[in-house]
Amino acid sequence: MKLVSYVTARERRAGVLVGAVIVDLERASSEVSFQARRTKPLPSNLKQLLGEGDRALEECSRIEAHFAEMPTEKYPPHCRIPLRQAKLAPPVPDPQKIICVGMNYRDHCEEQNKPLPEKPVIFAKFPTALIGHGDSIIKPSLSEQLDYEAELAVVIGKKGKDIPEREALSHVAGYTIMNDVTARDIQFSDGQWVRGKSFDTFAPCGPFLATRDEVPDPQNLGIRLTVNGQLRQSSTTANMVFSVGFLVSYVSKCCTLLPGDIISTGTPGGVGVFRKPPAFLKAGDVVRIEIEKLGILENSVEAGD
């Protein structure tokens, strides 16, 4: 399934993509054909929905199948939103944690002339940095070195602590795209990474959450990033130093992972700071990331105050 969060005039709501239509999950689960299976509707918030576990996802799958079998014009009007008219939020707009991994692609280590890390480099981004597909990245006046990083993001579906690596993927709800936007001058001057990577709008994420069954092998996905149509990053998740399963297990030995938490798994080579000459983002640029099976995340850059 492809799960989304979309924005209405009053709130953000959870839906499932059926072709070119978003089906609102809470409203659809209230329909007569589903009431026999559930005493109350599905949550309207995707993080809460993930927190209800496999049974909730199974109901989402039944809703997807039910609507896929009928003509679009017969969908109940209160359940359907044409995708082209929708404003998408990050798939999980309100995670408790965004955990990121540095130096996790062989080609990214090579472009810096650095050895492969012996253990994962872990840092955090603040959830207030999240924006959705189509939102603008705001270039802060504090930085002249705004950079992009295309990344595979993992969304946790099941709570876990000290998760064995062999069980790690069973704790994953699905996958999406993240752009780990970075103010390089601030990152390097601070000597640590959190501030330079956590400005508001520095975590574009989306466009949807592809559930785990849609991505049987997260270590075999093509990943590309363009700026204004020019290819800047082109790699594959097979080039990761540490696999998704290893990272989920590793992080869980430090902190309890909760439904909706995001682990962004690092970026491949081709980032702006290590190009010759360096190529940083500026106002008016359009950044487009494509990861196989996960769609396209596109955001423009605007100048901040």
For the chain, give the percent of residues with pLDDT over 70: 97
The model's confidence at residue 287, banded by pLDDT at 50, 70 and 90, is very high
The rounded distance, in Å, linking the Cα atoms of 291 and 178 is 10
Q: Beta strand 12-18 with 2-7: parallel, antiparallel or unpaired?
A: antiparallel
**How would residue 181 be classed by pLDDT, with cut points 50, 70 and 90?**
very high
**What is the β-pairing status of strands 182-183 and 172-179?**
unpaired
Q: What span, in angstroms and rounded, lies between the C-alpha atoms of 267 and 9?
A: 35
Express each pLDDT in 108-157 by its tens digit: 999 999 999 999 999 999 999 999 999 999 999 999 999 999 999 999 99
Asked whether 200 and 166 are in contact (CB, 8 A), the reply is no
d(CA 15, CA 35): 18
Is residue 111 classed as helix, strand or coil in its secondary structure? helix
Q: What local confidence, expressed as pLDDT, does residue 34 receive?
A: 57
Is 80 exceeded by the pLDDT of residue 32? no
Residue 37, pLDDT above cutoff 90 = no
pTM: 0.96
The string of pLDDT tens digits covering residues 56-84 is: 999 999 999 999 999 988 899 989 999 99
pLDDT at position 40 over 90: no
Domains of the chain: 2-88 (2.30.30.230), 93-303 (3.90.850.10)
**Using only C-alpha atoms, what is the Rg of the chain?**
19
The rounded percent of the chain whose pLDDT value lies above 90 is 91
Given this model, what pLDDT does residue 191 score? 87
- 102 DSSP β-pair partners: 121
Contact 207, 296 (CB under 8 A): yes
Amino acid at 54: D
- Which position has the token pair 């999406």? 176
